[in-house]
A and B are shown apart, each in its own frame.
Chain A
């Protein structure tokens, strides 16, 4: 599994951080607007979650909607995009009252996704071993939050796999298979016979 990491602190407060997911023609912009921020994903739609202070939010129909209760409180926020099957993108972004301050970006990949920050310097590939502990911790907590209020130790991999493989809501309805289901018949007599069998046990 290839892990690409960028840790960068900006000398000045940037108004925009732009990332490009190479080979997939996806561009992600994080735009600072003072205390607020805006996220644009160009070229691909996907689920976007973020944690800020005590809230976990999901972007739905261009509005942020709170989805879970708070578990911890920090000044940075965690952004997570589930783009499509087997792909995701995660980042931690520091910000303060002036806006965006810096970012820790990671991309775990199951397909071949190469992440590049295009606004400033090109990302450097860094070995998995130096993955920042803090980021790992937050990722795990975040996944736990998404996967259940009482589940504290669910692995990030399982969570991402679930999202990627199970939630293919864009799949076309299969009416032929439905017709096969609707052909399944069990007569009233068979059910009555079965009931007798159960009760005689």
Chain B
């Protein structure tokens, strides 16, 4: 009899704990971390959305070069084993985008204003930092955007079966708003600058070249292609002021190779 009572008690406590977890998830938003698969799922949707807005730039040589630089600096990132894919968007807009799960895009407009591999390496490192720091995922959770999705996520979080395609689509739409309209939190952009600077420096590049890039951005803030970047990032001037404090003793710049390999 005693055993039966204890069993019932344990079972009741377990049920209560499960209900409480669910209630907590619903009212408190989505509190657990996204799994790698979920990150990838959300990232795929965001990447597909981006590719719906901008055309993919098809140039095998240049794409391979961007991937080599990106994958090389990624080895010096906090998550060197993560898989990254780098691609180029065919637009004069000056910007770069990172999606959860490792998809990173740079625009042709951005590549056109770069003058060295070191600049490219630090920009790609900045995007890698957004991914390793999970900035977009944090933004999704922070905004508690889910509405009915919160409930779905709560259910999924208990079942542990992933978030599903529909919800990933919903999340990607919100993430796109962050990427193209609202921008990430400014502190996250400064953080990505800082970590990106460290990653490319550790890989051997002169991250100081990134400061030259920010100066270039400052000069062209009124260009039409800069509208989204200016709207979604702290000003180049303020980013410069933050980064100038950092030091990097690496000295690889590679201006000529960048010109040869990109042919821009």
Q: What is A's interface to B at a CB cutoff of 8 Å?
A: 67, 146-151, 153-155, 157-159, 161-163, 166-169, 171-175, 177-178, 180-182, 184, 186, 190-191, 194-195, 198-199, 201
B231 and A148 within 8 A (CB): yes
The complex places the Cα of A167 from the Cα of B67 at a distance, in Å, of 26
A162 and B227 within 8 A (CB): yes
How many pairs of residues, A versus B, come closer than 8 Å at their CB atoms? 119
Partner of B224 from the list A149, A162, A194, A201 (CB cut-off 8 Å) is A162
Which residues on the B side are within 8 Å of A157 (C-beta)? 224
Residue-wise, chain B 222-250 has the 8 Å CB interface mask toward A (1 for contact) of 11101110110111011000000000000
A178 and B180 within 8 A (CB): no
A195 and B52 within 8 A (CB): no
B87 and A184 within 8 A (CB): yes
Question: Size of chain B's interface in residues, with CB distance under 8 A?
Answer: 51
The complex places the Cα of A180 from the Cα of B103 at a distance, in Å, of 13
Given contacts A168-B53, A184-B85, contact A151 B230 (CB under 8 A): yes
B228 and A158 within 8 A (CB): no
Partner of A147 from the list B182, B230, B238, B254 (CB cut-off 8 Å) is B230
The complex places the Cα of A166 from the Cα of B180 at a distance, in Å, of 7
Given contacts A162-B228, A184-B85, contact A201 B252 (CB under 8 A): yes
B56 and A158 within 8 A (CB): no
A161 and B85 within 8 A (CB): no
Most buried by A among B173, B228, B230: B230
Partner of A186 from the list B68, B226, B234 (CB cut-off 8 Å) is B68
Given contacts A178-B44, A182-B85, A184-B67, contact A162 B177 (CB under 8 A): no
